Structure 1
Amino acid sequence: MASWSKLVRFTDLAGNIHFGEPTDDFSHAKVWEGISLFSLARTDRVERIAALLPPYQPDSILCIGLNYLDHAKECNRPIPSYPVLFYKPKLTVNGPFSDVVVPQHCKSLDYENELCVVMARDAKDVAESDAIDYILGYTVGNDVSSREWQQQERSGGQFSFAKSCDGFLPFGPAIVSARLVPDPQNLALVTRVNGEVVQDGSTCNMIFSVAKIISFLSQGTTIPAGALIMTGTPAGVAAFKTSPPVWLRNGDVVECAISGIGFIKNKMVTQ
């Protein structure tokens, strides 16, 4: 377990980058020195937060699709028997309050509010009963998706290309220590677009729990320390909310919040 309660990565007023434990209003942070999540040492130095960055740079980003009962139903897809895995590349990582720059080839832009898990240590062949012990903490992520590139005729039904553009994973603002989240299956997720609620769900509606996901993904394959696991999104995505769908447009602001974890807020900016 981490000795900090919440961890952010930020720039100070001089432009220097630090890890730190933030005050409640995220105006200042007590600095933790180190170059990675696993080399941090507490200091007594406090710095003013000029800008919040992604909490860290994960080398491995594992994503689970169709993991909420209500979302699978709105997609008119059968309930999966096993977790549906896809990946996002490292350059999708974006700040918790940064703009999401949308390439010209992405016209059907959608949001997906997701509970994200940060792994504390390597995990291989982990039993479901032990899986929670491998978690460093939790954070909030938006799996930004360009739906036309998920169509069968364009992608063969695969998810990754639609979700892999640079900056298509804003997350943060902090990693919340696992010890502060005793039950990851009892968290509320709310998404707003320009202030209007579009997703209102709960992790209790997951098909595969956080523990089951970790156990399944670790069978025969090492999930490395520091990996980020995105655990799926509830119903209410733009693709199935109206007919025809109202996609995200230039200037739209998406806020993804998870109870006990925090919120991120990002403006969509089309190229």
Structure 2
Amino acid sequence: MIELLLPSHGRDVAVGKILCIGRNYAKHAAEMQSEVPEEPIVFLKPSTALVGHGGTVILPPQSQDVHHEVELVAVIGRGGKNIPEEKALEHVDAYAVGLDMTARDLQAEAKRKGQPWTVAKGFDTFAPLGPLVDARRVRDPQNLEIRLTVNGEVRQQGHTRDMVFSVARLIAYCSRIFTLLPGNLLYTGTPDGVGPVRDGDVLEAQITGFPVLRVKVRRNG
């Protein structure tokens, strides 16, 4: 069981669902040659995909084209069902910067066959998560700069105001489908600039005022 220390709880809470949002920035949708969605695109990762700051992303032998996707992550501290959008941020205990690692070749094949993305998104270490920031310190999650460097070179740079669906909207939407529980994570989508990572790369993900998330990349097999 994987646990996180929630700031307002003062205790460890088990990580349950990892909810992820696809195509939540218009420019990223464009670079993927996809339309901007009319409703959030939601998929799941297992908790075993988590890896923390200073950890290692393992490139699986099944894929030859793993991509980085830097994201704002909201950590649920108070559960709920059918949460009103105007109350949604009250359910967030913390925020963090995260990475949604994606086996792009496997994802492309799944899309071609009309299959789910689970395999492409769910490998162990495919959900790096930075140190948590108390939500009370984040005045507006839609007013944050976000970027990723690979070996010191800027690869992604964006702003959360450019999300198609706000954090509050995403929480409200997801809560109409899933009962949200303390320790659930919401990866809110990535800006444009996604690209491949290689064995030996060092990734640094940053969001305004947040601690840096740094992970190394290693080929397995």
TM-score of the aligned structures, taking structure 1 as reference length: 0.75
Distance verdict in 2 for CA 1:182–1:221, change over 3 Å: same
Contact 2:6–2:13 under 8 Å retained in 1 = no
Q: Separation in 2 of the partners of 1:155 and 1:88?
A: 20
Aligned residue in 2 for 1:176: 133
Identity fraction in percent = 37
Alpha-carbon distance change, 170 to 57 in structure 1, aligned in 2, over 3 angstroms: farther
Among 204, 207, 212, which residue is 1:258 paired with? 207
Answer whether contact 2:6 2:94 (CA < 8 A) is retained. Answer: no
Bigger RCO of structures 1 and 2 (CA < 8 A, at least 6 apart): 2
Instruction: For 2:20 and 2:137, locate their aligned partners in 1 and report how far apart those are by CA, in whole Å.
Output: 23
**Is it true that 1:167 corresponds to 2:125 in the alignment?**
yes
Query: What's the CA shift string for 1:69-126, capped at 9, x where partnerless?
Result: 1111211211101000000001101121111111111210110101000111112111
Alpha-carbon distance change, 150 to 103 in structure 1, aligned in 2, over 3 angstroms = same
Matched position secondary structure for 2:132:
strand
Give the aligned partner of residue 267 of structure 1.
Answer: 216
How many pairs are equivalent? 217
Q: Which residue of 1 aligns with 2:165?
A: 208
Shift of residue 151 of structure 1? Answer: 1.4
SS of the residue corresponding to residue 86 of structure 2 reads helix
Larger radius of gyration: 1
What is the SS of the residue equivalent to 1:158?
coil
Change (3 A) 1:236 1:269: same
Tell me the distance in 1 between the aligned counterparts of 2:129 and 2:13: 10
The structural deviation recorded for 1:177 is 1.1
Query: Matched residues in 2 for 1:57 and 1:107: separation?
Result: 32
Secondary structure of the structure 2 residue equivalent to 1:179: helix
The answer to whether the aligner puts 1:96 opposite 2:63 as a matched pair is no
Q: CA–CA distance in 2 between the matches of 1:141 and 1:187?
A: 14
SS in 2 for 1:151: helix
Contact residue 113 and residue 143 of structure 1 kept, 8 A? yes
Contact 2:13 2:182 in 1 (8 A): no
Shift in Å, 1:221? 3.0
Q: Output the aligned Cα RMSD.
A: 2.1
Cα shift at 1:160 = 2.0
Per-residue displacement from partner, 1:22-53 (whole Å, max 9, x unpaired)?
A: xxxxxxxxxxxxxxx8453xxxxxxxxxxxxx
Is there any run of 5+ residues in structure 1 with no aligned partner, and where? 1-7, 10-18, 22-36, 41-54, 239-246
Cα separation, 2, equivalents of 1:75 and 1:100: 23
Task: Give the Cα–Cα distance (whole angstroms) in 2 for the partners of residues 93 and 220 of structure 1.
Answer: 23
CA distance in 1, matches of 2:114, 2:198: 26
Matches within 5 A, 1:103-182: 103-152=60-109, 156=114, 158-172=116-130, 174-182=131-139
Deviation at 1:157? 5.1
Query: Alpha-carbon deviations, 1:152-204, whole Å to 9, x = none?
Result: 456625322111111111112x2111111111001001110111001010001
